[in-house]
Chains A and B, each alone.
Chain A
């Protein structure tokens, strides 16, 4: 196991900027599962997810100097890198020829969380909580957190008023956090 030597996000970013490999490993340990979840939502393929995770962290390593703290947190920045790489992959020629055209069928409209093979065992209880989210809430946060839809795009897609988007996302996240406090009483 690696030593967790960076206590704060600021320290972690400084470590990455200093090209310290320990910092990268720490970032990887903390975020690889989350980013894999996002990438897998796009490509629906384990090998491809591994490949894109690799590309994502190499990109983080290479471009950490362009990370601007005033524009968002490290997590947000990394999520966008993972998203953009996934999108680029889906558009690339080699992907299109690899007969994986059905990939997005398994997209945000699929409310069925019973893909137990996708769920990590330590999150089973969490899955129950998510099941309890109203379908429109789940759709909403899937579009925003996985697909990177803007407020306007979500409003358009789900045919709900623009002003409702933010408040519904808030309500859903608050619901998730209730549970999070119980399982992570840090």
Chain B
């Protein structure tokens, strides 16, 4: 936690008021160890608190009271043992700080508490009551035996309950673990899907850019005889940037070891390699090809895997610009 968040949480105000739980107290002490500069903030809170409490004060006789204190400490007997109540109860809230409500509603004090106990004169046959009734002077052995059996029984019951709870919690934990694993898997899956969509999206964006870019010349190339009449693709060429794209629209699958290769026919009528088509992609995906400096036509041949330096097979698709 950052020191700023820590200060703004308001925990230090409660620390100064002395109303934190032991756990919170430990947390604050830990932060003070790490950030001693917190003492400045704490002092400021103390100062404000003092001011606020003084505001509600009453004019006591300051000097007389101080004299009384001095007299009292001078006439003290030898130092007494540390009072455990003082030692333990002074910083964290505990039982000896009584709530206002109790002071209001419980005016009879201890008597009221006594009244709450079952008191029909006949002890009931519960283990606790047995211990209580046995706990009479003159029967010391009975007390210790009953007490230890009682505690033993209580311990066993507690142990069994605790084991049962452990089992239950283990099963719950196991279930939750499985849930977490499946959640993790589905998150991972969603992540991959997202990635794929994102790639597709940016591709589509790229395609849109080319569609709308007037510098790209658009050329439909198609089959040139009856055998290849179904074949269709579109070539996009930017003369300025030499950028070439191809989008196969209707194109036959080739046997392994064969690829489609694009050629740019330059002004001298010579075919220049423009790269091979990647047929792993779906039909309708635009592919980036090699740069082409000048072309008057584009053509596609079927070549052995990896492509050729110059066409070795007849043209299956072509068109002139």
Mark A residues whose CB is within 8 Å of B. Answer: 21, 24-25, 28, 31-38, 40-41, 46, 49-50, 53-54, 57-59, 61-63, 65-68, 70-73, 75-77, 79-81, 83-84, 87, 90-91, 96, 101, 104, 107-108, 118-120, 123, 126-127, 130, 141, 144-151, 153, 165-171, 173, 176-177, 180, 184
* Nearest CB in chain B: distance from A78 CB, A: 9
Identify whether the interface residues of B are mostly helix, strand, loop, or mixed: helix
Query: Which residues in A have their C-beta under 8 angstroms from that of B76?
Result: 58, 62
B47 x A118 contact (CB < 8 A) = no
Partner of B70, one of A21, A81, A126: A21
Query: Which residues in A have their C-beta under 8 angstroms from that of B51?
Result: 123, 126, 176, 180
Contact mask for chain B residues 31-52; partner A; CB cutoff 8 A; 1 contact, 0 none = 0000000000010111111111
Given contacts A34-B49, A46-B60, A148-B18, 9 further A-B contacts (CB under 8 A): A34-B57, A40-B56, A71-B92, A72-B16, A80-B91, A84-B85, A166-B11, A167-B10, A169-B17
Query: Which residues in A have their C-beta under 8 angstroms from that of B92?
Result: 71
**18 A-B pairs with C-beta separation under 8 A:** A21-B73, A24-B73, A32-B66, A50-B61, A50-B64, A58-B72, A65-B82, A66-B86, A67-B90, A73-B42, A75-B46, A79-B18, A90-B103, A119-B55, A120-B55, A123-B51, A173-B13, A177-B45
B15 x A76 contact (CB < 8 A) = yes
Partner of B8, one of A36, A79, A127, A170: A170
* Best-surrounded residue of A37, A49, A101, A119 (most CB of chain B within 10 A): A37
Query: Which residues in A have their C-beta under 8 angstroms from that of B65?
Result: 32, 50, 53-54
Q: Does B83 contact A (CB under 8 A)?
A: yes
Partner of A91, one of B9, B10, B109: B109
B62 x A32 contact (CB < 8 A) = yes
Q: A73-B42, A79-B18 are in contact. Are A148 and B86 (CB under 8 A)?
A: no
Identify whether the interface residues of A are mostly helix, strand, loop, or mixed: helix
* Nearest CB in chain A: distance from B313 CB, A: 77
Q: Does B89 contact A (CB under 8 A)?
A: yes
Q: A40-B56, A46-B59, A127-B55 are in contact. Are A144 and B86 (CB under 8 A)?
A: no
* Nearest CB in chain B: distance from A36 CB, A: 5
Query: Which residues in A have their C-beta under 8 angstroms from that of B85?
Result: 84
